[in-house]
Amino acid sequence: MKKHLILIIVAFAAIANSAIAQQPNAAPADDKAIALAPDWMPKKSLTAQEQLRALDFYSRPVANGPQPGKIIWNLQWLMPLREAETMLPGMERPQMGSPTYVKDPSFPQRSIFVKTYSGNFKADPPTAEVFTEAHLICDANLRLISVELTCNHPKIVSWAAADHPKNKKGGGKDAPGPDGNREPYYDFVTLKANASSGQAVFYQIRPGHPGVICVHTELVGKPQPDHMHKPGHKPGQPSHVKGPPPGPVAAHTGPVIENVRWYLTAPLARKLIEIAEANK
């Protein structure tokens, strides 16, 4: 009886193995793609339309970019989070806790995670700025897809040369300064927006490493009487003011409340544009 039972078990195992062998192999995961939840597309929401338009605006400049390699510093595209957090230059202490979902309802749902680290972080390429927080943004498999740096009440904000067509036509040089004013969002990862008419959001978009752009935004407070943009540095001006930004940003004055640099990758930008298009 025992012998027959063993033979039956062996025969059943052979049949099962044969059935498994006949099944088609699962398609290998594309390691270069962003891993998303099956139901990642956000449902249409009228309250998110302004966010969608802003994300579409900031994503367009890199939408046709290549697959990224380096995102910032030595952090690579789709690097595991546990590896990336050991390579943060300027981190003061290891960050406890687990990653959380990105709060913005216009991002892929239940798919994008963020983990925040405290320290003294520099931009890439380096500027005079210091950022007190680094946010590592990951896909559903906790692989790095974007990075954001933030600082409240920064001492210094560094802008690249402003890009204004009027200056190009006249053959003049662009002074350092933002490209323009766009309300109200200035931080999409932690979902922060300007809620006061006495404040303003300024932005600048510049290329980073291949397949990456730097979306630089700042929230500026109410201008003070001595915050006047004149050539050279005037006593009482913020230390980052070096001259008059021309064109539409002439009102870029006042104390900086928050400074943000978002290193947005081309694949993530394409997903954000897809969401914006699907939810019009």
d(CA 280, CA 277): 6
Structure tokens that stand for 194 in this block: 């300007």
**Each residue of 101-121: pLDDT tens digit?**
987 889 999 999 999 999 999
Poorest-pLDDT segment among 11-25, 120-134, 198-212, 216-230: 11-25
If one compares 12 and 53, the residue with the highest pLDDT of the two is 53
The residues, ordered by sequence, that sit 6+ positions from 206 with a Cβ below 8 Å of its Cβ are 160, 213, 214, 216
d(CA 72, CA 106): 24
Mean pLDDT of 46-67: 89
Predicted confidence at residue 84, as pLDDT, reads: 94
Predicted confidence at residue 197, as pLDDT, reads: 76
Q: Is 96 exposed, middle or buried (0-12, 13-18, 19+ CB in 10 A)?
A: exposed
**Each residue of 204-258: pLDDT tens digit?**
999 999 999 999 999 988 665 443 333 333 333 333 333 333 334 444 567 889 9
Mean pLDDT of 21-27: 30
